[in-house]
Amino acid sequence: MWEYSRVDHLTPQAVCFFCNRPLRALKGIVISDGAQEAYAGPNCAKRMLGAPEERLLDVARLALLVVSEEDPDVEPGTREDLHSDPQSGSRRSSLASTTAVERPSLPALDRVIQYLRLRYEFMQEFHLHKSTLLTEAYEAYRRTGQLDEATRKRVAGMIRNAGEQKTVFSEANIKHCIGLNHWLHEAVQQTQPERRDFLEAMVAKLHRRWTLTPGQLNGINSWGIGLRKRLHTFPHLDAHIFDGVHVPDFMSSASNGQNTR
Ligand SMILES: [Zn+2]
């Protein structure tokens, strides 16, 4: 059975194990069946292997969370459906389900530390990635390698609330932000400087609001048609990753970036 192994340098002739298209990039996904290894494009890997386990602080795995399971480049007839199918995101609503009557228990120490590190080590470009509570906790963690129980509880409570209220600060949403940020930077790098305006505008919006609309994500997918023809390592994205995420007023109002918390 094939499974994700890692992201690594590709050989110049590397082709996708599932569709045989050339990968033409420096790095890509390596899969393994325990005995042998092969390479795969991100859409094919997601479609054939499903979502990866989210190993701690592995941006390549977080990046796969925002890859769509369908691959319109394999079945070109389905591309139009993306613009007229608001239902396809509904399966995601189960991700952060809060239907349980009892509140979930507070996240354990390793999840709290993972959250802090994601916010402080992978989201520096995002507006408001710091807060007073989180900075205090992260600095204590950096100094001592630990968190005292009182601090852990305060941060864990914040994480749980964000998850229950499905705000942009939830664990699920910051992972999606980091994953999408990874692909947008990849797209910018692969694009001539004079043709980057649209992508850079999407990067700026993501950094300001910690979400993009399905329309904006579909725009990136349309924009990426040419890029995906050249690079099987650039994916078609799931346009519904941010469905149902609540953007607080201080982030959704004025676009001047002057707001503070
Ligand atoms: Zn493929």
Ligand 1 centre to CA of 235 (Å) is 10
For ligand 1, the distance from its centroid to the CA atom of residue 85, given in whole angstroms, is 24
Q: Are 84 and 185 within one domain?
A: yes
Task: Say if 129 falls within a structural domain.
Answer: yes
CA of 253 to the centre of ligand 1 (A): 41
State the virtual CA torsion across 151, 155, 161, 162 in degrees, nearest 10. 170
pLDDT at 238: 96
Question: Quick one: 61 and 147 in the same domain?
Answer: no
Q: How far is the CA of 23 from the centre of ligand 1 (A)?
A: 8
Please report the pLDDT score of residue 69 as a whole number. Answer: 87
Per residue in 187-230, pLDDT tens? 999 999 999 999 999 999 999 999 999 999 999 999 999 999 98
73 lies in the same domain as 199: yes
Report residues near ion ligand 1: CB below 5 Å.
Answer: 16, 18-19, 41, 44
Q: Do 181 and 83 fall within a single domain?
A: yes
Give the structural domain span for 247: 1-94+169-261
The proportion of the chain whose per-residue pLDDT surpasses 90, expressed as a percent, equals 62
Q: How many domains does the chain have?
A: 2
Whether residues 155 and 183 share a domain: the answer is: no
Separation of 16 CA from ligand 1 center, angstroms? 5
Residues 196, 71, single domain; the answer is: yes
Name the pTM for this structure.
Answer: 0.81
Examine the domain organization and report whether 149 and 186 are in the same domain: no
Expressed in angstroms and rounded, the spacing between residue 132 Cα and the centre of ligand 1 is 44
Nearest to 250 by CA among 125, 96, 93, 131: 131
Task: Give a yes or no: residue 19 inside a domain.
Answer: yes
Residue 257 above 80 pLDDT? no
6 C-alpha to ligand 1 centroid (Å): 16
Does 59 lie in the same domain as 183? yes
Q: Give the Å distance between the CA of 243 and the centre of ligand 1.
A: 27
From the CA of 100, how far away is ligand 1's center (Å)?
A: 39
Q: Compute the distance from residue 10 Cα to the ligand 1 centre, in Å.
A: 14
Same domain, 180 and 256: yes
Pick the more confident residue, 259 or 153.
Answer: 153
Last residue of a domain, one of 147, 164, 181: 164
Q: Does a structural domain hold residue 100? A: no
Sequential DSSP letters for 165-217: TTBTTSHHHHHHHHHHHHHHHHHHHTS-GGG-HHHHHHHHHHHHHS---HHHH
